[in-house]
Amino acid sequence: MSQPQAFAGEDRSFEALLAQWSAFLAQELRLSAHTISAYQRDLSAFSVFLSDHLGAKIDLSALNNVQTSDLTAYLSRRSRGDNALEAASRARALSAIRAFYRFLSVRFDVDAGVVARYRGPKIPARAPRAPAETEVDGLIDAAELDADEPWIAARNVAILTLIYGCGLRISEGLALQQRQIPLQSVLLVRGKGNKERRVPVLPLVQAAIADYIRQTPWDLSPEEPIFRGARGGPLHARIVQGLLQKLRRQLGLPESVTPHALRHAFATHMLRNGADLRAIQDLLGHAHATATQIYAAHAQDGLIAAFKRAHPRADRPKD
């Protein structure tokens, strides 16, 4: 395997490489300090394992020579012991390693093929459901890393945050126009049957959209949709669907996690946190209450599961 490139005298130690990647995440992708800290922990754990596994200090050359067997041994180690990770958590750790190697491949011409092609842990099959709040956070965090250009990373974060934060259909999110920017506290949405509804906009959603608008290279007229493809045309739903397909596989989430599942998650999480079913119906733009009832069933399932986990007598046999 060829040796990776670096500038003369440049520090190739793992610590220096991690610091450079962290700076890239903060300055170019503008990830939060919390997200960067989580990725640093994943990469540090990988480095500690490799150093012990290979019997050498980890630097750029060692990272360039990582083999499939090394990754298998690492994930096997993370599955055992007092701090064992479940399959989904190991898949997330592997996702961080892939992102780190993508950075190294661009910055130092490291061969990232072994890591990119490695198949992660097999995730046990699960019944279709709305993703949990932590899983939605994980998807949005992963979207920030899954693009070579910062403006595309910001776009991916913005569209997912908008769909989940406002409970929109994917077509409604992609229809957002330049004239509606900057987003106000209430968004007028034109949904199915050309019916209009008003949806509150969270500050988090406003910030994600504003960050994307700051970074987008395209100069748009007021009536044009703000979300653009890599070549400047309108962003198609299939691109967002493909993004979710890629992210859910990286994170070990079921096939049911689609853009529309983020809308489901919006309703389910609102209900679990005390929102009124009729209010949810209005926010989703459902003409009939029966279309919203399914979310009440999902929310109730979650409450029952939480009750069984938390109640001190839930696992005691009947008298």
Indicate which residues carry an active-site annotation.
169, 192, 260, 263, 286, 295
144 and 90, same structural domain? Answer: no
User: 179 near 223, Cβ under 8 Å?
Assistant: yes
Query: Mean of the pLDDT values across residues 19-34?
Result: 87
Per-residue pLDDT at 73: 94
Query: Mean of the pLDDT values across residues 192-216?
Result: 92
Query: Mean of the pLDDT values across residues 139-160?
Result: 91
Per-residue pLDDT at 216: 96
The overall average pLDDT reported for the chain is 85
247 and 99, same structural domain? Answer: no
Query: pLDDT higher for 52 or 33?
Result: 52
- Which of these three, 62, 85, 117, is where a domain ends? 117
Total number of domains constituting the chain: 2
Is residue 162 in a domain? Answer: yes
Domain of 255, CATH number, reads 1.10.443.10
Per-residue pLDDT at 262: 94
- Which of these three, 87, 117, 147, is where a domain ends? 117
218 and 86, same structural domain? Answer: no
Q: Which of 121-135, 167-181, 231-245, 298-312 has the lowest mean pLDDT?
A: 298-312
Is residue 220 in a domain? Answer: yes
Is residue 236 in a domain? Answer: yes
User: 174 near 228, Cβ under 8 Å?
Assistant: no
270 and 139, same structural domain? Answer: yes
Query: Mean of the pLDDT values across residues 175-200?
Result: 91
pLDDT above 70 for 54: yes
Which distant-in-sequence residues (6+ apart) come within 8 Å of 12 by Cβ? 6, 59, 60, 61
Query: Mean of the pLDDT values across residues 35-51?
Result: 92
User: 107 near 141, Cβ under 8 Å?
Assistant: no
Query: Mean of the pLDDT values across residues 239-268?
Result: 90
Tokens at 161, concatenated? 């945050």
22 and 71, same structural domain? Answer: yes
77 and 137, same structural domain? Answer: no
Per-residue pLDDT at 195: 86
Query: Mean of the pLDDT values across residues 212-229?
Result: 96
The closest alpha carbon to 23, from 100, 128, 97, 136, belongs to 100
Query: Mean of the pLDDT values across residues 39-68?
Result: 93
Is residue 122 in a domain? Answer: no
pLDDT above 80 for 135: yes
Per-residue pLDDT at 67: 94
Question: How would residue 174 be classed by pLDDT, with cut points 50, 70 and 90?
Answer: very high
103 and 161, same structural domain? Answer: no
Is residue 7 in a domain? Answer: no
Question: How would residue 304 be classed by pLDDT, with cut points 50, 70 and 90?
Answer: very low
CA distance 114 to 120: 12
Per-residue pLDDT at 276: 79
Per-residue pLDDT at 251: 87
Per-residue pLDDT at 8: 47
Per-residue pLDDT at 82: 81
Most confident of 127-141, 244-258, 275-289: 244-258
Question: How would residue 88 be classed by pLDDT, with cut points 50, 70 and 90?
Answer: confident
Query: Mean of the pLDDT values across residues 72-85?
Result: 88
Structural domain span for residue 176: 133-308
Instruction: Give the burial class of 261: count Cβ atoms within 10 A of its Cβ; 0-12 exposed, 13-18 middle, 19 or more buried.
Output: buried
Per-residue pLDDT at 3: 46
Distances (CA, A) of 44 to 26, 124, 179, 275: 18, 27, 45, 41
Per-residue pLDDT at 242: 95
